Amino acid sequence: MTFKETMCLAISNHQTGDRAPLDNEFCALGAHEAVNDYGHSTIRQNMRTVIVDYCRTPFHRAHRGELKDIRPEDLSSTVIAEIVERTGIHADSIEDVMLGCAYPEGEQGLNLGRISTYLSGLPNTVPGMTTNRLCGSSMQVIHTAAGSIAMGSGDAFICAGVETMSRVQRGGFNRSLHPTIESKYPDAYINMGMTAENLANRHQITRTSQELFAASSHEKAINAQNLGFFEDEIVEISGIKQDGCMREPNLEKMAQLKPAFDENGTVTAATSSPLTDGAAALLVCSEEFALANGLNPLASIVSTAVSGVPPEIMGYGPVPSSAKALDRAGLTMDDLGVIELNEAFSAQSLACMQDMGLNMDDERINIDGGALSIGHPLGASGCRITGKSASLLQRLQTDYALATMCIGGGMGIATVLERWN
């Protein structure tokens, strides 16, 4: 008996609890994918990775928004199931579900990626994993999927991200700092708001400019919502269809707010992304798989990059990561038609834009608003801005996009996309 036949027999005979034996069709149709010439993977360095579709739940403010009572597993499984339904792919063709989550404990623990496969209706032959790179978690799983495709370790991956900041507090439930790092390198645990203050000071970013940037984000998001640009990406959950973070900007009220992190500082609640609940997902696959299954991709992944920066200026991470990704793609900022820069804070975004040679009124940046207005559910934002970049390439019929974000602890992550023609 061959290895493949042995695996089929073992899997077909396996029963756990009230689960039925796996369908024999797995052996007839799917085993060659699941145990595909085990140990004989072919490296496909030139295999293009594409993004086929993207969706997300509405994003709502934590603790007082409409998603506060919905568990993270229900958020993530909703977008995963939606991606499968929209694309019409066979579940058995999914190599893995890769999920990003910044605080994978409590309700977000126990390998939330795997738990989400059960709730989304996928067969138990589809595995799941959870990745933590804090705010960059769900962009990281996109990079991981692209690397797996290039290595010949699968053709189709669901990449997702989730965070319910209402139900799992930022920093986790059992925060325990390493005593040596806490005493000798305390900035490793610095408050994120203080990193924004540090960048505001270093780059001489005024409070007024921060408030103008935040107001612009809300204006763009409200305009996009009114024009119906979010309808195709948002998946209804529990009767909730619209985002809940954006507000009509009022500069006079913004100016009256007290600083949020430093009594002598310039960063306020209005110029900080809100604590947010939400989930997002994409189908990431090989070009070959997309064509074979009659799928129309949104974009291909041209290059990826991560970088490290001092943790006390963690918001600066997009600058070196974007430079690295663009260099690998053989592109410059001038080649880009879409730039999605995650708005953790106004000060952080403006500092990055200064050193990336971008003006505050650059029309390519966060065209439909950013995290300041839409929200920033930490583990989901990487999928949101990458998926948004891909969909904007098609909507605007422009060639290249950059999605980039800062990451707590002093990191940046970036993805360069090319419109699929």
The tens-digit pLDDT sequence of the chain (421 residues) is: 443 343 344 334 433 444 333 343 333 333 333 334 434 444 555 679 999 999 999 999 999 999 999 999 999 999 999 999 999 999 999 999 999 999 999 999 999 999 999 999 999 999 999 999 999 999 999 999 999 999 999 999 999 999 999 999 888 788 888 999 988 888 999 999 999 999 999 999 999 999 999 999 999 999 999 999 999 999 999 999 999 999 999 999 999 999 999 999 999 999 999 999 999 999 999 999 999 999 999 999 999 999 999 999 999 999 999 999 999 999 999 999 999 999 999 999 999 999 999 999 999 999 999 999 999 999 999 999 999 999 999 999 999 999 999 999 999 999 999 999 9
Instruction: Specify the long-range contacts of residues 19-24, CB closer than 8 Å, at least 24 apart.
Output: 19/124, 22/123, 22/124, 22/125, 23/123
Alpha carbon 376 to its chain centroid, in Å, reads 10
Domain for residue 240, yes or no? no
Distance of CA 349 to the CA centre of its chain: 17
Rounded distance between C-alpha atoms, residue 134 and residue 62, angstroms:
17
> What is the reported pLDDT for 47?
72
> Could you tell me if residue 286 is inside a domain?
no
Task: Confirm whether 395 is domain-assigned.
Answer: yes
Instruction: Give the dihedral sign, CA 348/351/354/357.
Output: negative
Indicate the residue type of 5: E
Chain centroid, CA 299 distance in Å: 16
To the query of whether residue 135 is one of the catalytic residues in this protein, the response is yes
CATH number of 403's domain: 3.40.47.10
The pLDDT of residue 20: 39
pTM: 0.90
Question: Is 383 inside a domain boundary?
Answer: yes
Beta bridge partners, 161, equal 100, 280
Q: What pLDDT sits at residue 37?
A: 42
Could you tell me if residue 262 is inside a domain?
Answer: no
Number of separate domains in the chain: 1
Given the residues 27, 55, 101, 135, select the one marked as catalytic.
135
In a domain, residue 143? The reply is no
Is 216 within the bounds of a domain? yes
Taking alpha carbons only, the member of 360, 309, 312 closest to residue 201 is 312
Q: How far apart are the C-alpha atoms of 94 and 120, rounded to whole Å?
A: 13
On the CB side of 352, CA atoms within 13 Å amount to 34
Measured between alpha carbons, how far is residue 334 from residues 300, 330, 406 in Å? 19, 12, 22
* Separation between Cα atoms, residue 85 and residue 68, nearest integer Å: 26
Contact between 107 and 385 under an 8 Å Cβ cutoff? The reply is no
φ, ψ at 237 (rounded to 5°): -140, 125
SS3 at position 110? coil
pLDDT of residue 172: 78
Check residue 44 and give its pLDDT. 54
Distance CA 97, CA 123 (A): 12
Q: Which residue's entry shows tokens 């996109």?
A: 142
152 within domain boundaries: no
Q: Per the residue annotation, which of 60, 143, 218, 376 is the catalytic one?
A: 376
Partners of 159 in the β-ladder? 98, 282
The predicted structure's pLDDT at residue 176: 85
Name the catalytic one among 8, 55, 383, 406: 406
Decide if 60 contacts 244 (C-beta within 8 A).
yes
Residue 347, domain extent: 179-229+299-419
352 catalytic residue (yes or no): no
Residue with tokens 């583990």: 379
Please name the residues in contact with 152: beta carbons below 8 A apart, sequence gap of 6 or more. 41, 42, 43, 44, 47
